[in-house]
Structures are given as structure tokens and as C-alpha cells.
């Protein structure tokens, strides 16, 4: 794989749209042609929730420079029909209409990790060959996936402020032009995706504030500030519930249930107080000790050069802040909430199951159902299978834990304690798992791997009830590992492979504490890929400009969208390496003519 030249990504010009600050919309050269080749006793307290409302290298010469570089450990990645013949989508023919539970819109990818259950699964068949099209928001780091409007004509993305101060964006999917932007949110909004409801209302979190916006113009409908203990960390988005509520967990571990239409707080549960669990030990990032060229790179993409702000955001986005909770909640179709966060000690973690009771009676409450302790903390959000009958996640040591949630709800799992749950099975492998798992309706589970001891870049498993069956494990080119979570469709798995030439000391790659990717000695190579779900083999790839920490996702109209963070590029130990870029890119099906109007 060759390094894509920077001038292949050339601008067609700046365009001013509806009085919004101009954006750099980039047409990519056709040189990027496609290559071939997530209670007994417990159940008794749960009400039956059936009301689904419709509205719902230069290696730095002196060794001291290398040691300075090591100080920024937490800044790296912690983290459609058949496509044989594809015609340009017209306003607005959907190739990928997904039956989402209310109040979500029936469209592709309207929630972080694809849906309320964090499955990272899109039930469509799509093209298997794509070409890069437009590329925008290059100074805006995207830390969460973009989502789509009901008709697929607009994509929504949250970012850091970048060069123009805007943090929430609505971008036309066909042209890359900005429909609207907002600059009144803090850069912490980048930890939240935009959740899309069927009635055109949008929802984001920004620290301890939840906001509702109109899709047509981004106007504020309501904003609710949640009580918080001013503890470190960010709020990692929110989900919409079947009973027309918003549910989120703030950094101190408290879960809130809000009215979707006015933001009123209707229920809350302080998980830390209820369980006695404690936050994980923080791993502060000494930004002041970073080499100046790396601080400049961070400032470029994070929109600030304030050391305190940089430390907080870097630690928050990559899960080292010491916050009790640093993952997106999971909400099942059965009306149960799953979170993961602090555990009995700072070195451990725990999965927590919470029941939403009385939602259809307009007097909801949040009640602790059960917990499952993890030997290590986790940066992996909980993922539901079969509508919430089973849930799966990875702990901080890379072990996969699958729980029979229904058995735990009825207290017929192997743990006799009605407030605790034992896994149905675990699967160990030598690497770390730096992001959420992905599942499909067959009970197949896919996940990426990093870290020193890894023997593969990705795995496929099958849930066999009381055990996991290995379907495949795959390595790719030397030094390659995924910098995105995997997105699964009926005929492909999409992701971004990032290739690192590691900095070596005494002949060994240098890994930063807790970071699954070695410190880069030279500029990074990236490629977007599609994998065969049955084998993990690459069936298509194309170079991409920068690394990601999110996902490569299919749109309702059959395109692919990549949000980029440039995290690996920031850490390159060569001060002469190109400045990192971030932003949002569209890849259109091969052979489809790009639209500019």
C-alpha cells in the first residue's frame, strides 16, 4: 500500500451556504479507484412495557525527546441493495431503510453504534466497491460516528471546534455542503453522537447538558442541565427509549431519564451510591511535557492550546479521566438499560442492568436489576443481542463476556445472588479490545484487537449458548490494526485499517501505557476496507487520508461515511511529518458520478 499524496486531496473551492461559515469541501481525485480484491426476584419488580408510542523521523534524536513523547499516552486510540449495478441516488430514494424501534427514525444509522442496542449492525446489502468523493471539516476531530436524517439527505456529526469554532454540523450527504452548524456547544459535545428521532428532533449531550434540536435548521427546542458532582470526564451521548424518553449517564455514574419533548427529569439512579462501586484510577496526561510539535498538532484538531483543556479532553475521549462512567448506554427493545463503569476497586469494573419501570403509566422510575463485576475496567459499551435477551462486552484485559440477561433477570443464572449475574461464557485472547463489539442477528460477534500481545487484528465469534465458537481471526498487512470499530451489514464488514511503523527502543516497539497501538515513528498509512463476514478476508480497500477512533458506516442511500480523528497522526515522533487532519469523508459506490449541485 502506498502513501496517498497530500495533493491528491485538493479543494474545488470554498462555498458559502445559508450564512454559515464557509467549509472546505474537497473533491478527491479519481486516482483513488477501488481495488478488487455491541429478576426470579428481579423480574418480579419489572412491569410489562408494551406501549410503543408512534411519536416516539524522524525519530527525535535525543532520547529525551522520545521520553517526552511517551508522556501523551492517553491521546492515541483507546480507543442498500446488491451493488452490482448502482445508480446515483435521487432525492430521496433509500437503498437502506431499517425498521428501528420508536421513537427512532426508520433509517440507517440514526444512533451511535447504529441503534439503541449498540449493535453496530445495519440490516442491508450494499456495494462492495467505493471511491472517495468529498472531504470536509478537516480541522474538526470527530470522536463519535455521524448519523443520518430520515431521508438520508443530511448527515449529522459532532466535532471539536476546529478552525471555525463550530461543534455540531448538518452536512448534505450528496454534496458535502453545510446545511447548518452550531458553535454554542463546548468541545465536550464531541463525545456524543446526534440521535435522530422519527419526528425530526435531534438529541445531543454536552457534559451534563442534554439538548434537543430541530433537524431543519438546528434551532434549539429545549436544553436540560443535569445535576452533576463536577467530577472529571465527559458524557458519552444518550439513547432514546421505547417509551419516548431520553436516557443518559453522566460522568459520575448517575443515570437520568428525561421527557423527550421538554427535557424534564422524570427519574434518576445514582449507580455509584446504589452499588458502592468506585471510579477507575485516573491516568492523567502531562500535556506540558509533550514536544511542542505534538502540542501544536493537538491544538490544531482540538481547537484549543490551553494545557488544562487539552488534558481533560484527551483523557475524557480516550477513557483515562478517572470518571465513573465513560461509555454510551445501551437500551434494549425490552426497556432495560445497560451501563458499564466503575467496579468494587479502582482496578476493576462492572456491568450494570437497570429496569425502566412505569414508562407507559407516565410515572417512570429507574431500578437497579443486577450487576456483573469485571476483573478489569472497560472502554467497551454494552451491546445487546436478540432484543436484549443477551448482552456482550469486552473488559479492559481483552476478555469477551456474554451474559444471558433474561436468565439473570429471572435469577436462574449460575450466580445464586439475585443482585448479581454470572456470564454465560467468556472468550480470552492475548490482545486488548479498544472499542465496542459488533453483532448480527445470527449471534455472530465481531471485534477489533490491539496491544502488544495481539495475534490478530480482528475476530469473528459465534454465540453457541454456553460457549463461544471461533469463526475466524485475521491479521492483515504488517503493522496494520483497526482504528475504527467494525460496522456489520448483511454482506460486508466495514472498517479502517491503520498501519504504524513503530518507534523502537532496543529493538522493541514502544507502547504507551494503556494504548493499544505502538508509538509511530513515521507517517501513518490508512485504508478503508470491506471484509467478508464469513471469513474476515478483505474484499475491497482504498487509501484514506487519516486515522479514526469511530466507525466507517453505510448511509441510507448506499454510500460509506468515515469520521476521522487523526489521533495516530498526532503521535508521530517525526516533527517534520504532515499535520494531522480529521473531519468527514463520503465514499460513493464505484462508478457513480459525483454530484456537486
Q: What is the pLDDT of residues 18-58, one digit of tens each?
A: 333 322 332 222 222 233 333 333 343 333 333 333 333 33
Task: Give the long-range contacts of residues 92-96, CB within 8 A, separation 24 or more.
Answer: 92/151, 92/152, 92/153, 92/557, 93/557, 94/151, 94/152, 94/556, 94/557, 95/124, 95/126, 95/556, 95/557, 95/558, 96/122, 96/124, 96/126, 96/152, 96/554, 96/555, 96/556, 96/557, 96/558
Q: For the chain, how far is it from start to end, CA to CA, in angstroms?
A: 33
Average pLDDT, the chain: 82
Q: Which CATH architecture is the domain 6-30+41-589 placed in?
A: 7 Propeller (2.130)
Task: Kindly report, residue by residue over 420-452, the tens digit of the pLDDT.
Answer: 999 999 999 999 898 899 999 999 999 999 988
Predicted pLDDT at 284: 62
Assess whether pLDDT exceeds 60 at residue 78.
no
Residue percentage of the chain with pLDDT more than 70: 78
Model pLDDT for residues 167-198, shown as the tens digit of each residue? 999 999 999 999 999 999 998 899 999 999 99
Residue-by-residue DSSP string for 69-103: HGGGGGGSTT----TTS-PPP-TT--S----PPTT
Digit-coded pLDDT (tens) for 387-411: 999 999 999 889 999 999 999 999 9
Pairing of strands 504-505, 508-509: antiparallel
456-472 residue pLDDT tens = 999 999 999 999 999 99
Q: What is the mean pLDDT of residues 98-108?
A: 86
- 187 three-class SS: helix
Measured CA to CA, the distance from residue 395 to residue 433 in angstroms comes to 8
In this predicted structure, what is the pLDDT of residue 69? 35
The grid coordinates listed for 293 are 510539535
Of the two residues 443 and 105, the one the predictor is more confident about is: 443
Query: How many residues in the chain?
Result: 597
Q: What is the pTM of this model?
A: 0.84
| Average confidence (pLDDT) over 206-221 | 96
DSSP category for residue 518: B
Q: Across residues 314-321, what is the average pLDDT? A: 60
Cα–Cα distance, 525 to 543 (Å, whole number): 8
Q: CA–CA separation, 217 vs 236, rounded Å?
A: 24
* Burial class of 328 by CB neighbour count within 10 A (0 to 12, 13 to 18, 19+): buried
Top mean pLDDT of 99-108, 222-231, 291-300, 335-344 is at 335-344
Q: Where are the domains of the chain?
A: 6-30+41-589
**pLDDT at position 231:** 64
Q: Residue 141 in contact with residue 163, Cβ under 8 Å?
A: no
Percentage above 90 pLDDT, the chain = 59
Amino acid at each position: 500500500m502506498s502513501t496517498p499524496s497530500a495533493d491528491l486531496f485538493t479543494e474545488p473551492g470554498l462555498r458559502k451556504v445559508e450564512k454559515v461559515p464557509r467549509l472546505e469541501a474537497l473533491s478527491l481525485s479519481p486516482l483513488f479507484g477501488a481495488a478488487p480484491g455491541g429478576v426470579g426476584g428481579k423480574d418480579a419488580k419489572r412491569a410489562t412495557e408494551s406501549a410503543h408510542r408512534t411519536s416516539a523521523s524522524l525519530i527525535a534524536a535525543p532520547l529525551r525527546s522520545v521520553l517526552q513523547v511517551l508522556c501523551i499516552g492517553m491521546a492515541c486510540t483507546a480507543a442498500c441493495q446488491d451493488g452490482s449495478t448502482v445508480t446515483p441516488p435521487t432525492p430521496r430514494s433509500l437503498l437502506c431503510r431499517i425498521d428501528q424501534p420508536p421513537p427512532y427514525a426508520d433509517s440507517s444509522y440514526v444512533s451511535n453504534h447504529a441503534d439503541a442496542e449498540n449493535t453496530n449492525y445495519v440490516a442491508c446489502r450494499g456495494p462492495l466497491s467505493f471511491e472517495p468523493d468529498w472531504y470536509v471539516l478537516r480541522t474538526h476531530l470527530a470522536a463519535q460516528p455521524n448519523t443520518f436524517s430520515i431521508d438520508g439527505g443530511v448527515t449529522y456529526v459532532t466535532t471539536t471546534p476546529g478552525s471555525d469554532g463550530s461543534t455540531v454540523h448538518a452536512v448534505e450527504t450528496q454534496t458535502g455542503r453545510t446545511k447548518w452548524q452550531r458553535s454554542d456547544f463546548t468541545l465536550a459535545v464531541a463525545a456524543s453522537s446526534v440521535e435522530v428521532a422519527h419526528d425530526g428532533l435531534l438529541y445531543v449531550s454536552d457534559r451534563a447538558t442534554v439538548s434537543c434540536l430541530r433537524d431543519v435548521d438546528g434551532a434549539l427546542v429545549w436544553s436540560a442541565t443535569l445535576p452533576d458532582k463536577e467530577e472529571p470526564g465527559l458524557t458519552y451521548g444518550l439513547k432514546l427509549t421505547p417509551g419516548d424518553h431520553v436516557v443518559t449517564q453522566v460522568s459520575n455514574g448517575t443515570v437520568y431519564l428525561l421527557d423527550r419533548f421538554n427535557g424534564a427529569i422524570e427519574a434518576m439512579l445514582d449507580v455509584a451510591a446504589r452499588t458502592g462501586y468506585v471510579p477507575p484510577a485516573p491516568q492523567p496526561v502531562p500535556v506540558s511535557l509533550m514536544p511542542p510539535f505534538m502540542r501544536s498538532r493537538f491544538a490544531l484538531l482540538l481547537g484549543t492550546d490551553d494545557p488544562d483543556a487539552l488534558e481533560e479532553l484527551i483523557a475524557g475521549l480516550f477513557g483515562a479521566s478517572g470518571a465513573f462512567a465513560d461509555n454510551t448506554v445501551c437500551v434494549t427493545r425490552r426497556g432495560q438499560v445497560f451501563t458499564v463503569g466503575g467496579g468494587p476497586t479502582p482496578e476493576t469494573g462492572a456491568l450494570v442492568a437497570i429496569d425502566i419501570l412505569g414508562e407507559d403509566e407516565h410515572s417512570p422510575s429507574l431500578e437497579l436489576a443486577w450487576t456483573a463485576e469485571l476483573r478489569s475496567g472497560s472502554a467497551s459499551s454494552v451491546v445487546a443481542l436478540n432484543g436484549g435477551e443477551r448482552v456482550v462486552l469486552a473488559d479492559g484485559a481483552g476478555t469477551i463476556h456474554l451474559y444471558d440477561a433474561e436468565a439473570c433477570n429471572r435469577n436462574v443464572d449460575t450466580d445464586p445472588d439475585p443482585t448479581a449475574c454470572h456470564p454465560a461464557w467468556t472468550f480470552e485472547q492475548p490482545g486488548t479490545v479498544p472499542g465496542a463489539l459488533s453483532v448480527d442477528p445470527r449471534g455472530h460477534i465481531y471485534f477489533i484487537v490491539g496491544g502488544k500481545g495481539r495475534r490478530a487484528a480482528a475476530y469473528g465469534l459465534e454465540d453457541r449458548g454456553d460457549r463461544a465458537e471461533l469463526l475466524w481471526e485475521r491479521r492483515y498487512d504488517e503493522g496494520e490494526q483497526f482504528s475504527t470499530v467494525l460496522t456489520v451489514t448483511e454482506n460486508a464488514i466495514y472498517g479502517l485499517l491503520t498501519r504504524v511503523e513503530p518507534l523502537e527502543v532496543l529493538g522493541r516497539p514502544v507502547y504507551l501505557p494503556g494504548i493499544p497501538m505502538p508509538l509511530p515513528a513515521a507517517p501513518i498509512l490508512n485504508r478503508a476496507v470491506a471484509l467478508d463476514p464469513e471469513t474476515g478476508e478483505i474484499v475491497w480497500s482504498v487509501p484514506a487520508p487519516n486515522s479514526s477512533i469511530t466507525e466507517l458506516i453505510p448511509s441510507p442511500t448506499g454510500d460509506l461515511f468515515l469520521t476521522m480523528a487523526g489521533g495516530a497522526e498526532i503521535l508521530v515522533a517525526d516533527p517534520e511529518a504532515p499535520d494531522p487532519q480529521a473531519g468527514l469523508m463520503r465514499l460513493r459506490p464505484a462508478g457513480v458520478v459525483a454530484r456537486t449541485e
